[in-house]
A and B are shown apart, each in its own frame.
Chain A
Amino acid sequence: MLTRIVGRSLTRRRRRKLLTLLAVTLGIAVTTAVSTIALDVGDRVGRELRSFGANIALTPVADSLPVSLGGTDYRPIGAGAYLAESDLLKLRKIFWRNNIMAFAPFLDVPVQAQGRRLTLVGTWFDQDLSTGKSEAFHTGVKSLHPSWKVEGQWPTDDDAAECLVGRRLARSLGIQIRSSLALRVAPGSNSAPQSTAAAVLAVRGIVETGGDEDDQIFAPLALAQKLAGLEGRVRRAEVSALTKPEDAFARSDVTKMSAEEFDRWYCTPYVSAICYQIQQVIPAAEAKPIYRVAETEGRILNRVGALMALLAAAAMVTSTLAVASMMFATVLERRAEIGLFKSLGATDARVATIFLLEAFVVGLLGGLAGYFAGSLMAQRLGVVVFGVPAQINWVILPAALVLALVVTLAGSALPLARGLKLSPVAVLRDE
């Protein structure tokens, strides 16, 4: 009997019921969309922030101090220590390897061109590191520093005689794209076997960054290594990694952590933990966070997170309110029905069961539909704002359902209690 009443009630006045369902769906959809975006935003903004460049620097442990001024290293080639180029591939083997967005090695070679002492920087531009079975991975300065402005083309990574020239240097040397630049390794480089190594490079592009790079020459790493007689060696490397903002726990002393704390620290993508893991796989390197980037990034991420939490809370409150008031209105409208039920001898409990069961069904359906509509909305929104659809989050589904049920039930319970209090005679005659 009960199920029949509820079933009939749900199927009879379809338009009204659909409207209620729509309201619940919309409210839950907005809540779902906002929470999905809010959960996703840290990752997304983190990726955007990576355009500030590397946040971890790798240098050889036993290096001597570089004496570099305005982009020119005044150290002779042989001085100091080097990292092995092959070691860098191990960066793809650390625990948080998927958080490593890009990295590039650098080898500075002092050269002479047009009678001036300059620095040639050997690096990867867009090196293909894809290993057969795993997905493709390209890395190099192109992805490490997306904000570098290159006029012309990027050179290729094989040891072709090509280069990029910094904007300021190009102006002072009078170099243009497609002209060629003759240079030879600066004398006094005792370790280079043929100290007169020379090359003529084709200028493929002009690079402008606003930093020291504007005074440097960039060439493929292999070429720089051959020129300097340092095959397979690099001076330093820069890594761009997605990290979690450091909190008080991340700043605590690693050596004093208990085993459990250490595990937690190790398995969180703090910049310090990633540095630690890099040093584990490449013991010859010292990995250090570039503080101004790492710390600023952390603070910005915290702020954005707070802003998102705020918006999500606001959306939740308003949509809850909207759904509740909709339910309130629909139940209020049906006071006459309540009176009729009661005059036919139904107990208050019975009437309440009927109405709440209806609300339950509406809430369940609306919650489900709202979750899917909201996820779709979040994806669209993600494309608009970030250019990538937001990640669908299944954790939100039970939360959305519970919220939908609580809101619809609470929204109907209040006017129901009011309706039950009225005497059926008054209600039926009045209306």
Chain B
Amino acid sequence: MGSLLVGAAVAAALLNLYGDVRRKMTQEFRAYGANVILAPAVAPGTSPGATVMDEQVVNQLKSGARRLKGLTFAPVLHVVARVKPVPSDPRLPEFQNLVAVGTDFAALRSLYPGWRIQGAMGNAALGLGECVVGAHVATRLHLAPGGSVELAVAGGGPEPISASPPEFRVAGILSTGGAEDDRVFLDLGSLQRLAGLEGKISLVELSLPGEGAEIERGVQVLARTLPGVEVRPVHQIVESQGRVLETIRGLAVSLTALILAIIGLCVMATMTAIVLERRKDIGVMKALGASDQLVMGLFLSEGAGLGLAGGVAGFALGALLARELARRLFDVSLGLSWWTLPLVVLMSVLLAGAATLLPVRIVRGVEPAVVLKGE
């Protein structure tokens, strides 16, 4: 009984945890960043780097976000710009050509929680006159949070840009280790106005929740609802995630199977003890004319009953355990998943029944005369 209880508790805890741990793991994987990119479809013969598309895509995404739960995305506009620190420093190059990124910075941050930002801006969105500069840009132009830069969009040719380019306050310094270190981030609207590209964006970075197959489905849904837009999954992320989750799942399943096998063994030992201990009762029953089948059925139903009781108690204990573990190890708060109750109880009953099958064979060997005589 005790072993069954523990067994059912472990199984219930694992089952309860499993779904949530999976969800938590997929969530962790999302920190790798966008797994789908929406870009303008390339017509043959156009330069792919410089194309833009209509901002309307974002509105369509917003209405679609209700259907695809947990979807996060950030529109991005890339423009080559010319940046100059204010006040200008004679020791430095007069200006610096770099890529300016107009975006919803708070949304982009939530896509890439691994990015490190220096400066007191927290998770706030970028204000109108604010910008975030990449770490390389900051070292190159000797910028610190609180400083200012002038930013002008280089309009294709060498002709001078507007006479007094607008100034932006440096709200933070971004360190990512990637290409973002060489860029400047602005509010999307400000950059659109500066570049004369009102209502245009270069691409949308998108993070679809779920695993491989779900993401593939999401990609198809997006491709259908957004004509004229190229929806491309980032293979590196989508596939690697699937592979790693597959590995973890295989591991969890095989280890749980091993644990269940051990529990079966445990129940078997207990039932053997029970049957042996009651050899005399068996002898009496058989002497009174009970068939082997009847006595065996008795023990089997006792085993199943034990399984039932152990399963229910184990479920309660396991659910509590899972809640505690989930909070401590995975910091998720876990709701009771009632669907696991019938599963755990059924499993416990079946396991107890199966494990009783072998020990009840002892019943057959019990000779009433021998047992009752006292030897």
Q: Give residues in A with beta carbon < 8 Å to B.
A: 23, 26-27, 30, 33-34, 37, 41, 44-45, 48-49, 51-53, 56-57, 59, 63-72, 74-75, 116-117, 145, 147-149, 168-169, 171-174, 208-211, 214-215, 288-296, 299-300, 303-304, 306-308, 310-311, 314-315, 317-319, 321-322, 325-326, 328-329, 332-333, 381, 384-386, 429-431
Contact = CB atoms under 8 A, between A and B. Distances in A.
Nearest to A295: B114
Given A51-B243, A70-B78, A314-B259, A292 B270 contact: no
Which of the listed residues B17, B47, B375 has the most CB atoms from chain A within 10 Å of its own CB? B47
A57 B266 contact: no
6 contacts: A74-B80, A169-B48, A174-B44, A215-B49, A291-B115, A318-B10
Contacts of A306: 329-330
B236 A145 contact: yes
Contact of B177 (A57, A67, A215): A57
A125 to B, nearest CB: 17
Contact of A292 (B10, B25, B178, B273): B178
Contacts of A149: 235
A68 B269 CA distance: 69
Nearest to B176: A291
Contacts of A174: 44
B9 to A, nearest CB: 9
B170 to A, nearest CB: 16
B255 A332 contact: no
Contact of A291 (B14, B28, B78, B114): B114
Contacts of B86: none
A292 B177 CA distance: 8
B364 interface: no
Interface string B252-268: 10111011011101100
A154 B97 CA distance: 35
Contacts of B236: 51-53, 145, 147-148, 209-211
B251 A68 contact: no
B247 interface: yes
Contact of A148 (B115, B116, B235, B374): B235
- Consensus secondary structure, chain A interface: helix
A77 B254 CA distance: 55
Interface residues of B, number: 86
A299 B254 contact: no
Given A67-B182, A172-B43, A291-B115, 17 more contacts: A52-B236, A67-B80, A69-B80, A172-B44, A215-B48, A292-B177, A295-B31, A296-B29, A296-B32, A299-B31, A310-B17, A314-B10, A314-B259, A322-B266, A329-B270, A329-B273, A332-B276
Contact of B273 (A289, A304, A333): A333
Nearest to B32: A296
B194 interface: no
Interface string B328-359: 01100000000000000000000000000000
Given A145-B236, A325-B269, A385-B250, A34 B374 contact: no
A308 B28 CA distance: 17
Given A168-B42, A431-B375, A322 B263 contact: yes
The 10 closest A-B pairs by CB, nearest first: A70-B49, A322-B266, A329-B273, A290-B177, A295-B114, A210-B234, A292-B114, A326-B269, A306-B329, A296-B31
Interface of B: 2-3, 6-7, 10, 13-14, 17, 21, 24-25, 28-29, 31-33, 37, 42-50, 78, 80, 96-99, 112-116, 136-137, 140, 175-179, 181-182, 202, 230, 232-240, 243-244, 247-248, 250-252, 254-256, 258-259, 261-263, 265-266, 269-270, 272-273, 276-277, 325, 329-330, 374-375
Given A299-B31, A307-B248, A322-B3, A27 B240 contact: no
A308 B235 contact: no
B176 A70 contact: no
B149 to A, nearest CB: 13
B319 to A, nearest CB: 15
A228 to B, nearest CB: 20
Contacts of B46: 172
Contacts of B98: 65, 67
B128 to A, nearest CB: 24
B235 A315 contact: no
Contacts of A147: 235-236, 239-240
A62 to B, nearest CB: 10
A304 B330 CA distance: 10
B258 A315 contact: yes
A17 B29 CA distance: 51
Contacts of A328: 269, 273
Given A65-B140, A69-B80, A299 B28 contact: yes
Given A52-B240, A65-B98, A318-B10, A57 B24 contact: no
Contacts of B239: 51, 147
Given A65-B96, A300-B28, A308-B251, A321 B258 contact: no
B44 to A, nearest CB: 5
Given A23-B265, A290-B176, A307-B248, A318 B32 contact: no
A66 B180 CA distance: 10
B247 A386 contact: yes
Contacts of B99: 67-69
Contacts of A321: 2-3, 6, 266
Contacts of A27: 262, 265
Contacts of A431: 374-375
A300 B21 contact: no
A172 B244 contact: no
A292 B113 CA distance: 7
Nearest to B115: A291
